[in-house]
Structure 1
Amino acid sequence: MLKSTVFAAAAAILSTMPAFADGIMVKDAYARSASPAARTGAIFMVLDNHTHADDRLIAATSEAAARVELHTHTDDGNGVMRMHEVEGGFAIPAHGEHVLARGGDHVMLMGLTAPLVHGETVDVTLTFEKAGEMTVSVPVDLERNDAHAGHGGHGDHGGGHKAKGHGKHNH
């Protein structure tokens, strides 16, 4: 019990420590997967642009997964949410932010090289159109329950959350 409490406290501290890259700040980042056996995971965060120019997150890489993509969920018009890769990345307005959250935009880890373990960290390199590259150590938090996690959270994409083009993703 004490061990998980220490991990949770460390994850909370790490997730609140912002990372900077040429005017872009990453805040409140965390990673999760649906289970220890999951082959996929996701990373969520707030991208805060402190510059006078719009920027864009255009790519992400990590040794934690065979493939890393920028994903979102969209309604297919029949009330079914489908997950798909976002070509061109995520816009971050000047003096504004872009939230990557469960049930919405996120960094998708596909083909995990090892399970995401609660309390550990995952390094991810984010590539911005103008700010360049930034490597962030993201805490794994398998217990976090976001209030803003639209559409029932970001768990198994079966049961209404169907993944388009990639099969089922659990994270």
Structure 2
Amino acid sequence: MTTRTLSRMSFATLAVATLALAGCSDSTKESVDDAASAVTSAAAEAGDDAKDAAKDAGDKVKEGAADAKDAAEAAGKKAKDSAEDAHNDTMGTLTSEDVHLHDGFVKAMPAGAGMTAIFGTLENHTDREINLIGFTTSLGAADYEIHEVVDGKMQEKKGGITIKAGGEHVLEPGADHLMILNHDSAIEAGATVDITLKFSDGSKVVVRDVPVRAIAAGEEDYGSDSAHGDHDMDHKHDK
């Protein structure tokens, strides 16, 4: 309520009271009525002002609550990001500068074949021994295993692949390789695949844009039972 409005109400009220006490005549009745109308009008205006003030106050409370909510969400996200960063810091230190897949490639595969492999040379550019224990790819739904060939039979390589400090490990047909299982879609030559290598210290190193190549069928026949020996293709491992 404004000072002007209060003044108008006070003046009009005083006028009504004075005229009433004085026993006003008919000639002054209209003046009394005018004064009364002024009081009523001032009161109405004061009510509108109060409503507006209350609405403004309510809007400010809502805005304050919204700002507080946004601030809380931002703080929560920042805390989550910090926690994830701290978690990553404790989950290993290997980077793409430490581990390379030299001349790596994925063997092309037709739709329905269900399996293929990744070859190349894993290079350890650190001064310590590292242990590859698993991997995934950008191909999506599939099972991923590290394999070896023993006495002509392919099997999962228990314990993964250990690479000495400054050393390398060759992935090739008929020996150790990274196996992609239970993948039904075609993997066509000329495409590229991202590979995430997982190490025993918790590190994950992403090798991007590994090419898909076609190699001679005689080098490794993943579709024959003899190539897999007793390996169970229904295993569900690292998806």
Q: CA deviation at 1:153?
A: 1.6
User: 4+ runs of 1 displaced by more than 4 Å?
Assistant: none
Q: CA deviation at 1:114?
A: 1.9
Q: CA deviation at 1:90?
A: 0.4
Aligned mate of 2:188, from 117, 141, 151: 117
Q: CA deviation at 1:132?
A: 1.4
Q: CA deviation at 1:156?
A: 3.6
Alpha-carbon distance between aligned partners in 2 of 1:95 and 1:41, rounded to the nearest angstrom: 29
Write out per-residue CA displacement over residues 136-161 of structure 1, whole angstroms, 9 at most, x where no aligned residue.
Answer: 2321101x35xxxxxx5212463742
Q: In the alignment, which residue of structure 1 is the partner of 2:174?
A: 103
Q: Any conservation in 1 of the 2:148–2:175 contact (CA below 8 Å)?
A: yes
Aligned mate of 2:213, from 138, 141, 144: 141
Q: Any conservation in 2 of the 1:22–1:132 contact (CA below 8 Å)?
A: no
The reply on whether 1:162 has 2:228 as its aligned counterpart is yes
Q: Which has the higher contact order (CA 8 A, sep 6+)?
A: 1
Alpha-carbon distance between aligned partners in 2 of 1:25 and 1:63, rounded to the nearest angstrom: 18
Q: In the alignment, which residue of structure 2 is the partner of 1:70?
A: 146
- Letter in structure 2 aligned against 1:138: V
Q: CA deviation at 1:129?
A: 2.5
Stretch moving more, 27-36 or 86-95: 27-36
Q: In the alignment, which residue of structure 1 is the partner of 2:133?
A: 58
Alpha-carbon distance between aligned partners in 2 of 1:74 and 1:114, rounded to the nearest angstrom: 29
Gaps of at least 5 residues in structure 2 are 1-94, 235-239
Q: In the alignment, which residue of structure 1 is the partner of 2:59?
A: none
For normalisation by structure 1, the TM-score amounts to 0.70
Q: CA deviation at 1:35?
A: 3.7
CA RMSD of aligned residues (A): 2.5
The reply on whether 1:48 has 2:123 as its aligned counterpart is yes
Alpha-carbon distance between aligned partners in 1 of 2:183 and 2:109, rounded to the nearest angstrom: 12
Matched positions, count: 138
Residues 156, 108 of structure 1: CA spacing in aligned structure 2 closer, same or farther, 3 A cutoff? closer
- Letter in structure 2 aligned against 1:120: A
Q: Any conservation in 1 of the 2:109–2:187 contact (CA below 8 Å)?
A: no
Bigger strand share:
1
- Letter in structure 1 aligned against 2:176: D
For normalisation by structure 2, the TM-score amounts to 0.52
Bigger helix share:
2
Alpha-carbon distance between aligned partners in 2 of 1:47 and 1:56, rounded to the nearest angstrom: 11
- Which has the greater radius of gyration? 2
- Letter in structure 2 aligned against 1:123: D
Seq. identity, %: 32
